[in-house]
Amino acid sequence: MTEKIRRFLDERRPATPCLVVDLDVIEDNYLNLNRLLPAAKIFYAVKANPMPEVVGRLRSLGSSFDTASRGEIELVLSQGADPANVSFGNTIKKETDIATAYALGVRLFAFDSEAELEKIARSAPGSRVFCRVLVECDGAEWPLSRKFGCAPQMAADLMVKAREHGLDPYGISFHVGSQQTDLGQWDKAVGGVAQLFSILRERDVELRMINLGGGFPAKYRSDIPPLEAYAEAVMGAIYKHFGNAIPDIIIEPGRSMAGDAGVLQTEVVLISKKDEAEDKRWIYLDVGKFSGLAETMDEAIKYRLCTPHDGGATGPVILAGPTCDSADILYEKANYELPVDLKIGDKIEILATGAYTTSYSSVNFNGFAPLNTICI
């Protein structure tokens, strides 16, 4: 937690649950990634945290944007982004939204199927396109496999078709899965893309761009390699597979940009046991799966918690949210322990919650308001 967030929580005492995002951390993360991967152009994945202040700060630093919908495109343009620096990166788009994006000046579009390519050809003529290929997401804590991407052979055929349709066959993208902890995944994926460059060169299509997607981590409960190691793995893979013919490089970080910029403060609503003979306590918080912590689904993302009693004796707990849905349990199997002194009314801070929280919060389930988010 940054000094700035600590001071804000102490002095302002916002009603909980409340997510506080430190824009200076977003800035540091952007500058750091830019320093470590100077050859890559950063397209911030807006879905990670779509607060206008976050987008605005990144825009002022020179970031480009990866968007998934008409709403996200309008958001980044309203924050002053140049449409030339916006990618419509979702492979599943309504044709009317493609047309709107094109009318707004967007000229870079993703696809992974023939039908989507035809929509782009009709409604965004002459645009740059990139094809997303399927990759394994082994090692990712939040995998993005199966739903997106096509087989490499299909990508090759579609890029030839893209040219026949009068589009600019710009490059290939992939995403190794979010919160990727296996640095070897980029080598495999980049190797596959380099092969596609060769195959297409023989078919007279000269690709010029590789889009490495996201996957860079935030710090949750487990240790992660330093960002330097990620940068080395990525650039090592590029040099190994592309030699001296390095294409344009795009990266689309979301989690690594916004994750550790946010702290979610919550209050303990109830502490109980289901049976006096059990030593496991149930700790019910005023935030849960439906108010921002969706990534605790299957206990995939394991957040770090801070309490006022840290350092004292701890005991095993099950953590749950406040709603009347039994799916609203955060951690039951992940062996969380909290101080035995914890009491109802105590504040708990959930760290590194700047990504994939605010935008996942439901509108009014059980009458609970969407997660209040404050950028400072």
Binding stretches for ligand PLP (CB under 6 A): 45, 47-48, 66, 89, 175, 178, 213-216, 252-256
- Angle in degrees, CA 102, 108, 113, rounded to 5: 100
- What is the closest distance, in whole angstroms, from the C-beta atom of residue 332 to ligand PLP in the complex? 25
DSSP designation for 74:
H
Most distant pair of Cα atoms in the chain: their distance = 73
- What is the closest distance, in whole angstroms, from the C-beta atom of residue 360 to ligand PLP in the complex? 12
Instruction: Give residue for tokens 């060169």.
Output: 201
- What is the closest distance, in whole angstroms, from the C-beta atom of residue 181 to ligand PLP in the complex? 12
- What is the closest distance, in whole angstroms, from the C-beta atom of residue 364 to ligand PLP in the complex? 26
Instruction: State which residue, 59 or 175, has the beta carbon closest to ligand PLP.
Output: 175
Instruction: State which residue, 254 or 262, has the beta carbon closest to ligand PLP.
Output: 254
Instruction: State which residue, 66 or 328, has the beta carbon closest to ligand PLP.
Output: 66
Instruction: Give residue for tokens 């709403």.
Output: 71
Instruction: State which residue, 356 or 365, has the beta carbon closest to ligand PLP.
Output: 356
CA proximity to 131, closest of 119, 116, 146: 116
Helices (H), the chain: 3-12, 23-36, 52-61, 70-78, 95-103, 114-123, 152-164, 184-202, 227-242, 255-258
Catalytic-labelled residue, pool 18, 131, 137, 324:
324
18 carries an active-site annotation = no
- What is the closest distance, in whole angstroms, from the C-beta atom of residue 81 to ligand PLP in the complex? 16
Q: How many CB atoms lie within 10 A of CB 125?
A: 11
Phi, psi for 274 (deg, rounded to 5)? -90, -15
Instruction: State which residue, 212 or 268, has the beta carbon closest to ligand PLP.
Output: 212
Kind and range of the H or E element at 269? strand 262-272
Catalytic residues: 324
